[in-house]
């Protein structure tokens, strides 16, 4: 594409290349701007900054479109398994049966974690938040697999590190929960599929046969797929920035998990349920809490509403809302918190404040409700998000390393004090 943008600065005109993506998104390439003009751009929160070219995920916030490698989220959530989607994201194509079998076998082979890591779990207090445990455990994996320290060693070594991580994350996640309730750890059962095995390690007991409703396994499969990637969001950008320093994959993903923990990002699903409980305990007056959310003097926000990029609707929320209705009906769940959620959804969707700002329920609003119905404890919600997002983080990291992207290092506009003399302490 030969189009250029013209920028006039101090009476001089500069031509900047315009680049276009395969879905016709346009960008002004400013990579040489500082060298040619002496200026940088300022964009707090990177709302208008494309940090990379990527072939993994496409989303259109205005039209409510989300594609992984060209396939719509609707089709993938309906027809695929989570491991199939993980393969697609990481390796770029849907796997053949042989490729999928080999991938699944490799993942299954690596589900056990090193016995010495069990001692780490035992040292955490029972009240430790499982996201803190998960981030630490994932980073610790680098100490057990020193061959992972050089992320660019070989394609085979990279694959082994990736497979180990995807295989062990459910084990680490489930054990962080078992540790919190001081129950014995359940070792992975390799004849169960990825989702069923996770549920087994979470809810199984050594003294009982494990039975789980296939509806629950299917719901988990769908939830993980819906969360599998979301292009350059806060945690993924963290992954790409940390990975750009050539840090190993375990340290890099641990940083992504930490970024996801925040309540404005993945932590929102936990906050949704806590908010519903708060409203319930306060007497269930939904209008009062909607008014608080609209009051600029009040820091309260409706958790699970709004999204940085989806300003019409979140396609994942649409799929998950249906799954949510189905699962609540099939499991016969009757929970006052869910009634509050339904009322809140209705009031907010009809309210001018929310309509004017395009604030719709996001994926976290419904995922929190489903996780609650599945019996997953609130503190584990963001861990569930991390399990789903792992293939996306890995794919983005892999792409970045293969493209040999430079270390991430934004600029700033300094607004602090100008040069001044040091003042001895007695004179301050």
265 contributes a contact to ligand ACO by CB under 6 A: yes
Residues in the chain: 428
Sole window of 3-11, 99-107, 208-216, 263-271 interacting with ligand ACO (rule: CB under 6 A): 263-271
How many CB atoms are located within 10 Å of the residue 69 CB? 19
Name the residue number minimizing CB distance to ligand ACO: 306
364 contributes a contact to ligand ACO by CB under 6 A: yes
341 contributes a contact to ligand ACO by CB under 6 A: no
Compute the distance between CA of residue 163 and CA of residue 102 in angstroms, rounded to an integer. 11
Closer residue to ligand ACO (CB): 201 or 340:
340
Using an 8 Å Cβ cutoff, are 311 and 318 in contact?
A: no
Closer residue to ligand ACO (CB): 16 or 276:
276
Burial class (CB within 10 angstroms; exposed 0-12, middle 13-18, buried 19+) of 240: buried
Interface residue with ligand ACO, options 198, 261, 305, 360 (CB under 6 A) = 305
Compute the distance between CA of residue 211 and CA of residue 163 in angstroms, rounded to an integer. 27
Closer residue to ligand ACO (CB): 174 or 275:
275
Cβ at position 156, least distance to ligand ACO in Å? 34
Binding mask 284-303 for ligand ACO (x = CB under 6 A): ---------x-------xxx
Cβ at position 228, least distance to ligand ACO in Å? 12
Cβ at position 362, least distance to ligand ACO in Å? 4
Interface residue with ligand ACO, options 67, 158, 222, 307 (CB under 6 A) = 307
Closer residue to ligand ACO (CB): 278 or 308:
308
Interface residue with ligand ACO, options 134, 141, 324, 363 (CB under 6 A) = 363
Please name the residue that has the structure tokens 């979140």. 314
Contacts of 129 (CB under 8 A, 6+ apart): 261, 379
Closer residue to ligand ACO (CB): 186 or 348:
348
In DSSP notation, 4-20 reads EEEEEETTEEEEEEEEE
Choosing from 67, 227, 230, 364, which is the catalytic residue?
364
Closer residue to ligand ACO (CB): 82 or 203:
82
Compute the distance between CA of residue 68 and CA of residue 74 in angstroms, rounded to an integer. 10
Sole window of 20-28, 145-153, 264-272, 408-416 interacting with ligand ACO (rule: CB under 6 A): 264-272
Compute the distance between CA of residue 170 and CA of residue 112 in angstroms, rounded to an integer. 10
Sole window of 119-127, 190-198, 249-257, 262-270 interacting with ligand ACO (rule: CB under 6 A): 262-270
Region of residue 218 (left: phi > 0; alpha: psi -120 to 50; beta: else): alpha
Closer residue to ligand ACO (CB): 341 or 363:
363
Compute the distance between CA of residue 169 and CA of residue 192 in angstroms, rounded to an integer. 16
Compute the distance between CA of residue 229 and CA of residue 242 in angstroms, rounded to an integer. 18
Interface residue with ligand ACO, options 359, 369, 380, 400 (CB under 6 A) = 359
264 contributes a contact to ligand ACO by CB under 6 A: yes
In DSSP notation, 110-177 reads T----HHHHHHHHHS-TT--HHHHHHHHHHHHHHH-GGGSSTTS-HHHHHHHHHHHHHHHHHHHHHHH
364 tagged catalytic: yes
Report the Cα 393 to chain-centroid distance in Å. Answer: 8
357 contributes a contact to ligand ACO by CB under 6 A: yes
For ligand ACO (CB under 6 A), the number of binding residues is 18
Sole window of 88-96, 98-106, 213-221, 304-312 interacting with ligand ACO (rule: CB under 6 A): 304-312
Choosing from 67, 129, 307, 314, which is the catalytic residue?
307
Q: Which of 13-43 are b and which e, b meaning 16 or more Cβ less than 10 Å from the residue's Cβ?
A: eeebeeeeeeeeeebbebeebeeeeeeeeee
Which of these, 49, 147, 8, 58, lies nearest to 411 by C-alpha position?
49
Sole window of 32-40, 197-205, 208-216, 356-364 interacting with ligand ACO (rule: CB under 6 A): 356-364
223 contributes a contact to ligand ACO by CB under 6 A: no
In DSSP notation, 41-101 reads ---GGGTT------SSEEEETTTTEEEETTEEHHHHHHH--HHHHHHHHHHSSPPPHHHHH
Binding site for ligand ACO (CB under 6 A): 264-266, 268, 293, 301-308, 357, 359, 362-364
- Catalytically annotated residues: 307, 364
């Amino acid at each position: 594409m030969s189009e250029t943008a013209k920028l006039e600065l101090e009476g001089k005109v500069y031509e900047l290349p315009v680049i276009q993506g395969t879905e016709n998104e346009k960008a002004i390439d400013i990579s040489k701007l500082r060298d040619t003009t002496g200026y940088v751009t300022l964009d707090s929160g990177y709302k208008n900054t494309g940090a990379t070219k990527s072939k993994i995920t496409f989303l259109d916030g205005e039209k409510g479109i989300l594609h992984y490698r060209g396939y719509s989220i609707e089709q993938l959530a309906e027809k695929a398994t989570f491991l199939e989607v993980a393969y697609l994201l990481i390796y770029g194509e849907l796997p053949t049966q042989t490729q999928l079998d080999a991938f699944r076998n490799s993942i299954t082979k690596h589900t056990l974690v090193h016995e010495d890591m069990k001692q780490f779990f035992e040292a955490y207090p029972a009240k430790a938040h499982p996201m803190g445990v998960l981030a630490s455990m994932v980073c610790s994996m680098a100490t057990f697999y020193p061959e992972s320290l050089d992320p660019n060693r070989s394609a085979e070594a990279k694959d082994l590190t990736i497979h180990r991580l995807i295989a062990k994350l459910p084990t680490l996640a489930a054990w962080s929960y078992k540790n919190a309730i001081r129950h014995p750890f359940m070792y992975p059962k390799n004849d169960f599929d990825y989702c069923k095995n996770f549920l087994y390690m979470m809810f199984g007991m050594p003294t009982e046969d494990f039975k789980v409703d296939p509806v629950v396994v299917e719901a988990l499969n769908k939830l993980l797929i819906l969360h599998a990637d979301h292009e350059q969001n806060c945690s993924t950008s963290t992954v790409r920035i940390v990975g750009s320093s050539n840090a190993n994959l375990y340290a890099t993903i641990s940083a992504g998990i930490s970024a996801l923990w925040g309540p404005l990002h993945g932590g929102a699903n936990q906050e949704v349920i806590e908010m519903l409980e708060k409203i319930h305990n306060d007497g269930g007056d939904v209008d009062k809490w909607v008014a608080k959310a609209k009051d600029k003097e009040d820091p309260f926000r409706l958790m699970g509403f709004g999204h940085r990029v989806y300003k019409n609707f979140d396609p994942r929320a649409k799929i998950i809302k249906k799954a949510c209705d189905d699962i609540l009906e099939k499991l016969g769940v009757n929970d006052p918190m869910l009634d509050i959620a339904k009322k809140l959804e209705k009031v907010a969707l009809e309210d001018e404040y929310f309509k004017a700002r395009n604030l719709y329920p996001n994926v976290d609003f419904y995922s929190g409700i489903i996780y609650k119905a599945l019996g997953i404890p609130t503190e584990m919600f963001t861990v569930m998000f991390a399990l789903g997002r792992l293939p996306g983080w890995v794919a983005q990291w892999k792409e970045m390393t293969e493209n040999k992207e430079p270390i991430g290092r934004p600029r700033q506009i300094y607004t602090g004090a100008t040069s001044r003399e040091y003042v001895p302490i007695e004179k301050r």
